[in-house]
Amino acid sequence: MLRPSTLRPALRAQRTQCAAVINASRRTMFTQRQSRLTDDFDVNQLNSKRRDYEQNRTAFLAAGAIAGIVSFGYTAWKLKQALDLQGEKEKRAVKCDASIPTETFKTEGGEKRKVVLHDEEGREVVPTGNKTVKLFPRTINLEDHAPGQKPSSPIAAALSDKQGTEYTLVGLGTRSVTFIGIEVYVIGFYIATQDIAKLQSYLVKKINPLATTLIPSEKNALRKALQDPAESEETWDTAFKESGCRTALRITPVKDTDFPHLRDGLVRAITARSGRNEAYKDEAFGTAMKTFKIMFQRGLVPRSKELMFVRDAAGRLSVTYDGGDKHKPQKTLLGTVDDERLSRLLWLNYLGGKKVASEEVRQSIINGVMEFVERPIGTVASQVIVAQAL
C-alpha cells in the first residue's frame, strides 16, 4: 500500500492539471464569444454603410434622370418656338396658297414669262430659285445720285417721284464658285422702266432695222447673238455706251461675308477684262479702280443684305449698301466712280463674253430681254404703270 505522503504530491499535481484545463476551457469560450460579437458588430456596420451608399446612389440617379427629362423638354419647347417663329416669317413673306416655286420663268404659249407673286403688302416679287434668298422685287425705286433732269414724257414723269426712279427686273440668278458650286450671292439685273424703250429699240434694230418688234425667227437670231462669246460682248458693250439706259445690279449675299471678299471678286473680274485691251491702261482708269476699291474698306456683310450698283445714263457708277430690313431700310452711299468704263466692264462680267460670272444669270437676263423685244417699242413701260394701278 502506498503511503499518504506518497499520494499527496500526485493528487496535488492532478488537481493543478485539472484547474489548468478548466481555465483553458474558460478562456477559449470567452475568446470565441468576444470574437463572435466583434464579427457581428462589423457586419452590421458594413450593411449600414452599404445601405446608405445605395440610397445616395439611387437619389443621384433619380435626380440626373429628372434633370435630363426637364432639359430635353425645355430644349424641345425652345426648338418648337423657333420653328413656329420661322414658319410665321415665311407665311408673312408671301401670300400664296402654294409654296414658293423654284423656277424664275414659266412657259406660256411657247414663250417664257417671269413667275410673279405678291408679298404680304401686295408688291410684285419674283422667285430666285435660291433656298436662302428666295425672292427679289420685280420693281424697285432707286434714288438718283447724279444731277436730275426733268422727265421728257408723261410716262417718264409717272415713273419718277420723290422716292427715286423706278427700275424693272430683267433677269436674276445665283453666283457660284469652285467646282462644287458654293453659292456666294444672288444678283438681279434691273433697268429703269422708262428706259426699256431705249434698250428695245437698240436690240430690235440690231436684228431688223425696219421693225418695231421681233417675230419668233428674229428673236431666235437675237438670242443666238446674246449667247455668242464675241457677239454678246460687242452687243452689250455698244448698248451701254450708246443707248444711255440706266441700269442696276442688285447683289444679296446668301451667307455672311465681308466687303473685302466681295471687292476682291469684282476687282478680279474687271481687271481680267481690262487687261485684254490697251484702252484701259491709262491713268484715269487706274484712278477709277482705286476709288472703287476704297468703297469696300468696311466690315461684315450679313446674308440677305443688299448691295446696289447703279449705272446712270452717262455711265457714272454709284454703290449703296442697305444694312436694314424692308421695314426699316438703312441705305448708305459707299461712293461713286465717274469713269463709265469701269461700270461697263463690271456689267459685261455678267452679260457678255466667253466666260461670265454666272451662266445662270446670263440666260435669265436673255429670257427677260426676249419678253421686251416681242412687244412693240415703248409699250412695256405703259404696261408696268397699268399693272401697278391694278
CATH 3.50.70.10 for domain 105-389, yes or no, is yes
DSSP state of 116: -
The pLDDT assigned to 386 comes to 43
Mean pLDDT of 260-278: 91
164-183: average pLDDT: 89
One DSSP character per residue, 44-93 reads HHHHHHHHHHHHHHHHHHHHHHHHHHHHHHHHHHHHHHHHHHHHHHHHHH
Q: How many angstroms from the chain centroid is the CA of residue 44?
A: 69
Q: With a cut of 90, say whether residue 271 has pLDDT above it.
A: yes
At 14, the pLDDT band (50, 70, 90 cuts) reads: low
Q: Please tell me which of 42-46, 75-79, 155-159, 333-337 the model is most confident about, judged by mean pLDDT.
A: 333-337
Q: What is the pLDDT of residues 93-144, one digit of tens each?
A: 544 445 777 777 777 666 677 888 888 778 899 999 898 999 999 999 998 7
Residue 13 has pLDDT above 80, yes or no: no
Across the chain, mean pLDDT equals 82
* Rounded mean pLDDT, 350-368: 92
b (16+ CB within 10 A) / e for 95-106: eeeeebeeebbe
Q: Give the pLDDT confidence of 183-235 residue by residue, as tens digits.
A: 999 999 999 999 999 999 999 998 988 888 888 899 999 999 999 999 999 99
Higher pLDDT, 342 or 276: 342
6-20, 76-90, 298-312, 339-353, range with the lowest pLDDT: 6-20
Top pLDDT among 324 and 289 is at 289
> What's the average model confidence in pLDDT over 338-367?
93
Residue 345: band (very low, low, confident or very high) from pLDDT cuts 50, 70, 90:
very high
DSSP result, 237-277: HHHHHHS---EEEEEEESS-EEHHHHHHHHHHHHHHHHTT-
- Asked whether residue 154 carries a pLDDT value surpassing 80, the answer given is no
Alpha helices of the chain — where are they, by DSSP H? 4-93, 154-158, 196-207, 216-227, 229-242, 259-274, 283-294, 340-351, 359-373, 380-389
**What value does the mean pLDDT take over residues 10-14?**
61
Tens digit of each residue's pLDDT (9 = 90 or more) over 41-54: 567 777 888 888 88
Please give the Cα distance from 272 to 379 (Å, whole number). Answer: 38
pLDDT of residue 171 exceeding 90, the answer is: yes
**Angle in degrees, CA 356, 316, 311, rounded to 5:** 50
Q: What is the pLDDT confidence band of residue 389, given thresholds at 50, 70 and 90?
A: very low
What is the average per-residue pLDDT within 28-35?
55
